[in-house]
Amino acid sequence: MTATHGSKAGADRRLAEALRELRERAALLARLGYPAAAAVARLQARVVWDFDPPAKHGGPHVRPTGLSDAAIAQLVTETYQRHAPR
């Protein structure tokens, strides 16, 4: 039996979908009145859960750099700026 690895296009689509979901969750947390720091912590924990245990050999279970803690914090900051109460 041979293993096949996903394509680069597939990895890009999975990352785009994960980022879309994180933006939606960040917007919901903003509307619910969660502080940005709490939203960052929740979303980072969610991504860690999704990629637990982290793969050391590559493949689909490696956490993409686009889902790093810093990237999630930036995403939350941008989302909270758009959804700030007026």
DSSP SS3 for 75 = helix
Could you tell me if residue 1 is inside a domain? no
Compute the distance between CA of residue 57 and CA of residue 30 in angstroms, rounded to an integer: 37
What pLDDT, on the 0 to 100 scale, is given for residue 52? Answer: 77
Note the pLDDT tens digit of each residue in 12-51: 899 999 999 999 999 999 999 999 999 999 999 999 998 8
How many residues appear in the chain? Answer: 86
Could you tell me if residue 19 is inside a domain? yes
Provide the number of structural domains found in the chain.
Answer: 1
Q: Identify the domain containing residue 42 by its residue range.
A: 10-82
Q: Which two tokens stand for residue 45?
A: 């924990």
Using the structure block, give the residue that is written with the tokens 């969660």. 34
β strands within the chain, DSSP E: none
What pLDDT, on the 0 to 100 scale, is given for residue 5? Answer: 62
Residue that wins the pLDDT comparison between 42 and 5: 42
Could you tell me if residue 75 is inside a domain? yes
Could you tell me if residue 14 is inside a domain? yes
pTM attached to this predicted model: 0.82
What pLDDT, on the 0 to 100 scale, is given for residue 59? Answer: 67
What pLDDT, on the 0 to 100 scale, is given for residue 39? Answer: 97
